[in-house]
Each structure stands twice: as C-alpha cells, then as structure tokens.
Amino acid sequence: MSVVALRAGPPAPELVSRQRLGMAQLGPQGLSEQWLLRECGDRHWQLIATAMGQERAVFADAAGRPVYAAFCATVLELAPPAPGGVPGGLLTLRSGLFRLGGSRIGSEHALEVEGRPAGLLRMISTFVGHGPGGSNRAILRRPPLREVALPPAGPGLAALAARSRETVRSLCPTAPAGPPLLAAVPVPGLDFNAVGLLYFPAFSALAERAHWADPLARPGALARREIVYLGNIDPGDGIALHPEPGHPPGAFGLWRSDAVRIGFARSRYHQ
C-alpha cells in the first residue's frame, strides 16, 4: 500500500485567529460543534497546503488525479458553557499540524473564549481518492504528489490514533438486528462537501440526532465527542444508527443501507 512521505523538518505550520462570537459560531448551549468542525477542517487542510508550499488546499497524486485529506478520527472536548452564554465573546483559535505514522497527519485546535480555555479538537487525516468507478463506496488511500515536512505528533494525537485502532478492532462486524435509534437519508445540498463526499461533520450531526431520538433522554451541552470514520456513502444511500454492542451508553455504530459500517461515534454530555 502506498503511503505519503512524511519527513521530519521545521516546526509545524501554525494558524492563530481571533473573532467575535455570533450566531454562526454559537448554539443555545455554547460553541457550535458543527461550526467548529467545519472551521477546523478547513484549517487542517490549509495547514497541509502551507506545509506543501502551496496557497490552495487542492491536492493531486503523481498521476494528476485529485486526492483529499479525509478524516480517520476526531475528538472534540468542550468546557461547560459559560453562565449566560458568550454572544460577542472573543474566541482565540490556535491550530498546529503534526505527523503520525504511515500516511496520517494530525492537527490540534485549542479554543479560548475571553482568555479562558474553552475546548480542544484533535483531528487525524489520510489522503484518499475515488476509485475507477467514482463511487463514494470505493474510496482508496492514495498519496499526494508533494511531500509534507512536519514535526512528530504529541501524546494527545498519538493516543487518539491508538484508541481509534483499538476501537476498530473491538467493533462487531455485523449490523445489529432490530430497528435503529435513527434512520436518515443524507442529501447533497445539506450533508455532502464540494467533492461529493459525505462531509465529516454530518457524522457528528447524526450522532447528536440519535441522542435526541429518545424524548426521555434529552442530553445537556456536549462535553466530548469522538468519531472514527470508516467509510462513505453515495447520494441516496441511507444511514442507520444503532447502539454499539460491548460499549457504554452513548456509543453508536453508523451503518450504510448495504449493511456496511461507515463510522463509530462515542459521546458524553455535561450534566
């Protein structure tokens, strides 16, 4: 299997930004998970482009075919929301990029609101491309043309990588019997990204909807969500979420309509 050439080199590219929090960045219980994932996903891709010495986060392999930095695992940890909310608060977002083993690249995004720690997002990606048929069901690992020179990941990213591998080994290989907690058909205009793949924040959105499917178990503000991404779907495919056997409450498997697992989500909420 081909892998990306990751060379030890200069310090990782970093990105620091500050902005006032408004409707796009907030929800009723504090920072918006969906906004954070989208914003930090873009930062992850832009940092890779910077490390490659290019302005645009558009990547190709040696044959000129498009490749994408697809996420393998993410974990978001959020502090309890500030009393009274934080509309108009100043968010500082610090992002850095690091190398892991093989073809994987990791990023860390530290959040502060008005100078107080507000959360941390860790993300791990690998480069992939579409197979000959162009279906999202047949995504292949494919290295980009350019090398990436990055420092090694620290213990937090390394732990996420190890935990995601262990999670995959622990999962039941067959789809559960019985009705799912949640069934949905994602649609291109809402849930897919610019290259036609189910956008990674959609996995978190589906997990959140599954937690709200039980009217007697309304969750509080999100404290932690970890996602392992194992596959993708074509437009028109359905997704079913089932409780994950052998895992504590709050762990769901995401299954495609052809009974193929495409993800695992584990969530915890503030009381």
Residues constituting the chain: 271
Would residue 196 count as lying in a domain? yes
What dihedral angle (degrees, nearest 10) is formed by the CA atoms of 156, 110, 102, 41?
A: 140
Chain segment 122-164, per-residue pLDDT in tens: 999 999 999 889 999 999 999 998 888 899 999 999 999 999 9
Residue 152 confidence (pLDDT): 94
Query: Is pLDDT of 6 > 50?
Result: no
Name the amino acid, one letter, at 232: N
DSSP 156-167: HHHHHHHHHHHH
Domain assignment present for residue 258? The answer is yes
Number of domains in the chain: 1
pTM for the structure as a whole: 0.92
Structural domain includes residue 1: no
Q: What confidence tier does 271 reach under pLDDT thresholds 50, 70, 90?
A: confident
Strands (E), 14-173: 14-20, 26-27, 30-31, 59-60, 66-78, 90-99, 105-113, 116-130, 139-141, 148-149
For residue 226, the domain's CATH number is: 3.10.129.10
pLDDT reported for residue 208: 95
| 81 part of a folded domain | yes
Checking if the pLDDT of 259 tops 90, the result is yes
Give the residue numbers spanning the domain of 99. Answer: 6-269
In a domain, residue 171? The reply is yes
